[in-house]
C-alpha cells in the first residue's frame, strides 16, 4: 500500500498568558511532497477573528474538497474507460456540520453537485452518468474512509 504525507507547521508567537486563554493565532501552513504550501487556519465559524483567518483553507473545507476531488478523479477515469470524453467538470461541494451518532460535532453530510460537460460523438445518457457517479463513489478512497453521509446531486 502507499503512504501519503503532509507537514503541518504552526508558530504561535502568543504570550503564555494569552495562549492559555485561547488567544493565539490558528493560522498555519500545510506542506506537501510536491512542494505545494497552503495557508491554512481554523474555520471562522469555529474560531472567531482575529484568531482565525478566513483566507486560509480550514480542515473542514479541505475534507469536503478531498471527497469531491477523489470522486471527480474516479469519475474521469471511469468515463474514459467507457469511451466518454469529459470536457469539463466543476463541483460546488458542501459539507454540513452536525452531531454524529455519538453526539460529537462532525461533518455529518457532504453533498457533491458536479456539473459535467462531455464532448465527442459518444455522449452518455442520464442512466450512464448516474452509473458513473455510483461507481466513482464506490471506488473513492476518501469516501470509503469516512463516516459522513455523502450524496451526489448531479447538475445539468
pLDDT tens sequence across 48-70: 999 999 999 999 999 999 999 99
Provide the strand spans (E) within the chain. Answer: 6-9, 28-32, 37-40, 85-91, 94-99, 105-112, 114-119, 149-152
- Do the two domains 1-57 and 59-152 of this chain adopt the same fold? yes
Determine the pLDDT at residue 147: 92
Identify the CATH homologous superfamily for domain 1-57: K homology (KH) domain (3.30.300.20)
Residue % of the chain over a pLDDT of 70: 100
The reported pLDDT for the residue numbered 62 is: 98
Task: Say whether pLDDT at 1 is over 90.
Answer: no
472567531: which residue's cell? Answer: 48
pLDDT of residue 14: 84
Q: How many CB atoms lie within 10 A of CB 91?
A: 22
Q: What is the distance in angstroms between the CA of the first residue and the CA of the last residue of the chain?
A: 37
Q: Please identify which residue in the block is written with the cell numbers 498568558.
A: 17
Domains in the chain: boundaries: 1-57, 59-152
pLDDT digits (tens, 9 = 90+) for 64-96: 999 999 999 999 999 999 999 999 999 999 999
pTM: 0.93
State how far the Cα of 106 lies from the Cα of 47, in Å rounded to an integer.
Answer: 15
For the domain spanning 59-152, the CATH number is 3.30.300.20
Instruction: Give the mean model confidence (pLDDT) for residues 31-47.
Output: 96
**Mean pLDDT of the 110-128 span:** 97
**Residue burial 41-55, b: 16+ Cβ < 10 Å; e: rest:** bbbbeebeeebbbee
When the pLDDT of each residue in the chain is averaged and rounded to a whole number, the result is 96
Pairing of strands 28-32, 37-40: antiparallel
In this model, does residue 156 exceed pLDDT 80?
no
Using one digit for the tens of pLDDT, what is the confidence trace for 125-143?
A: 999 999 999 999 999 999 9
Amino acid at each position: 500500500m502507499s503512504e501519503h504525507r503532509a507537514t503541518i507547521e504552526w508558530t504561535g508567537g502568543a504570550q503564555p498568558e494569552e495562549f492559555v486563554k485561547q488567544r493565539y493565532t490558528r493560522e498555519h501552513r500545510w506542506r506537501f511532497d510536491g512542494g505545494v504550501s497552503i495557508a491554512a487556519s481554523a474555520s471562522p465559524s469555529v474560531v472567531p477573528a482575529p484568531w482565525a483567518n478566513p483566507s486560509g483553507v480550514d480542515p473542514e473545507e479541505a475534507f469536503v474538497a478531498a471527497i469531491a476531488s477523489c470522486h471527480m478523479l474516479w469519475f474521469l477515469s471511469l468515463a474514459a474507460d467507457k469511451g466518454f470524453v469529459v470536457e469539463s467538470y466543476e463541483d460546488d461541494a458542501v459539507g454540513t456540520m452536525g452531531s454524529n451518532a455519538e453526539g460529537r460535532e462532525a461533518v455529518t453530510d457532504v453533498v457533491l453537485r458536479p456539473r459535467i460537460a462531455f464532448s465527442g460523438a459518444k455522449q452518455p445518457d442520464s442512466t450512464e452518468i448516474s452509473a458513473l457517479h455510483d461507481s466513482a463513489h464506490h471506488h473513492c478512497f476518501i469516501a470509503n474512509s469516512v463516516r459522513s453521509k455523502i450524496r451526489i446531486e448531479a447538475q445539468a
